[in-house]
Every structure is written in structure tokens, then in C-alpha cells.
């Protein structure tokens, strides 16, 4: 069987609708004596998937070896287990899950580039932007930085990723080179300007 390309997926604001809930919980966090809402116990457990995320993962699993690459707040131990529980709820707990034993939790996502691949992540932090690296043959695709780069966009992110996988298979090039070719053909770019990226007010 031919080797599949590798695709790493961030969770918060890429698969999971996280930011609006955290932003709305800043007052609750203050009342609890916490610095930030992402420190509220179990706040990550019952979040909803982003529109199109579940169906997109199902489709992409046919083209890619999928992995989760996520960061959890250091001062919220429940967030680490919450993320595994969320994945189990929506994708299952057995080997049929595309993420079964394929979850990496780290505060430096750049360390996971050792064997190449593409990272889909909405924010450049925690080493995500390091994936935009010609030497290692990896790429960072910024989720939802424009209207084309989300799961629901017509002729956008999903089409780009499928085209990339097909080029990878047909031409025996790196994931990054395949993505470059696909993005040029579609006139899309991987990510927006890092200089103009705006954090939420509580980050």
C-alpha cells in the first residue's frame, strides 16, 4: 500500500469551537480568582465541534495519516484529559478512530516536525509557525485566516488538502512541495501575515 502524507490537526479553533466560550468566560474566571478563562476546570470538556469539522476529518482520513497536535493550559490539569475525552466522544475510543493513539500534547509544536507533514492550526503560537519550514519539508496552514480556509468553504481548504494528497501520491514529493503546487494551482496562500495577527484580549 502506498504511503499516505501526514496531516497534523490542532484542536482549539480548528476542530473545536473554543475561543468564543473562553472569551465569554473571562468574568467567571476572575470571580474564581484565575488569571485566564482557559484555567477554569473542565471548560474544555463540553465544547462543540466547528461546522464541518467532523465530516472533514472523515474524508481526510482516506487521504492522510492523521494526528492531533495540540497544546493544553499548563495550570489546568483537567484540560489535558478533557481533550482526550472530547476526541473519544466524537471519533471513538478504538482503532477505528483516525486519532487512536495519534495524539501529541506539547507546548512546542515545532518539535513534532521530525518526520515532515502539514500542520493545520489557527494560531502561530506554541511553535505552529515553525512548521512553515523549507528545510524540513513541512508546512503550516493557518485555519480560518480568510473565508477560504475553513471546513465549509467551497473550493477552499478541503479542496486544497485533497489536491495536495493527490499530488503527493502521484509525484513522490514532500508534503510541503505538494501543498505548494496545489496552492499555486488554486491561487491560495497557506497563512496570513504574522505581523497583523491579533490575540484575544485575555491571551
Respond yes or no: is residue 144 known to be catalytic: no
Helix (H, G, I), strand (E, B) or coil at 140: strand
Per-residue pLDDT of 72-101, as tens digits, reads 999 999 999 999 999 999 999 999 999 999
Q: Quickly state the pLDDT bin for 18 (edges 50, 70, 90).
A: very high
Per-residue pLDDT of 116-154, as tens digits, reads 899 999 999 999 999 999 999 999 999 999 999 999 999
Buried b (16+ CB within 10 A) or exposed e, 154-185: eebbbebbbbbbebbeeeebbbbbbbbbbbee
Specify whether domain 6-191 bears CATH 3.40.50.1000.
yes
Q: Where are the domains of the chain?
A: 6-191
Give, as one character, the DSSP assignment of residue 152: T
The continuous run of DSSP H or E covering 131 comes out as none
3-state helix, strand, coil in the chain (%, to 5): 40, 15, 50
Task: Please tell me the predicted confidence (pLDDT) of residue 87.
Answer: 98
Joined grid coordinates for residue 104: 501529541
Per-residue pLDDT of 29-76, as tens digits, reads 999 999 999 999 999 999 999 999 999 999 999 999 999 999 999 999
Task: Please tell me the predicted confidence (pLDDT) of residue 1.
Answer: 52
Give, as one character, the DSSP assignment of residue 149: S
Residue written as grid cell 495577527: 197
Respond yes or no: is residue 94 known to be catalytic: no
State the pTM of this model.
0.95
Average pLDDT along the chain:
94
Amino acid at each position: 500500500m502506498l504511503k499516505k502524507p501526514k496531516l497534523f490537526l490542532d484542536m482549539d479553533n480548528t476542530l473545536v469551537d473554543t475561543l468564543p466560550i473562553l472569551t465569554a468566560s473571562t468574568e467567571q474566571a476572575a470571580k474564581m480568582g484565575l488569571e485566564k478563562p482557559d484555567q477554569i476546570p473542565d471548560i474544555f470538556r463540553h465544547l462543540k465541534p466547528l461546522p464541518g469539522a467532523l465530516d472533514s476529518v472523515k474524508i481526510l482520513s482516506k487521504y492522510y495519516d492523521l494526528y492531533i497536535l495540540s497544546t493544553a493550559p499548563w495550570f489546568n490539569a483537567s484540560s489535558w484529559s478533557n481533550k482526550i475525552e472530547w476526541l473519544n466522544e466524537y471519533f471513538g475510543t478504538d482503532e477505528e478512530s483516525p486519532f487512536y493513539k495519534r495524539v501529541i500534547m506539547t507546548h512546542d509544536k515545532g518539535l513534532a516536525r521530525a518526520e515532515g507533514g502539514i500542520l493545520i492550526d489557527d494560531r502561530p503560537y506554541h511553535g505552529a509557525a515553525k512548521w512553515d519550514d523549507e528545510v524540513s519539508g513541512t508546512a503550516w496552514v493557518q485555519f480560518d485566516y480568510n473565508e477560504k480556509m475553513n471546513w465549509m468553504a467551497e473550493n477552499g481548504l478541503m479542496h486544497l488538502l485533497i489536491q495536495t494528497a493527490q499530488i503527493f501520491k502521484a509525484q513522490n514529493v514532500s508534503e510541503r512541495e505538494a501543498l505548494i503546487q496545489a496552492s499555486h494551482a488554486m491561487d491560495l496562500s497557506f497563512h496570513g501575515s504574522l505581523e497583523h495577527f491579533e490575540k484575544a484580549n485575555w491571551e
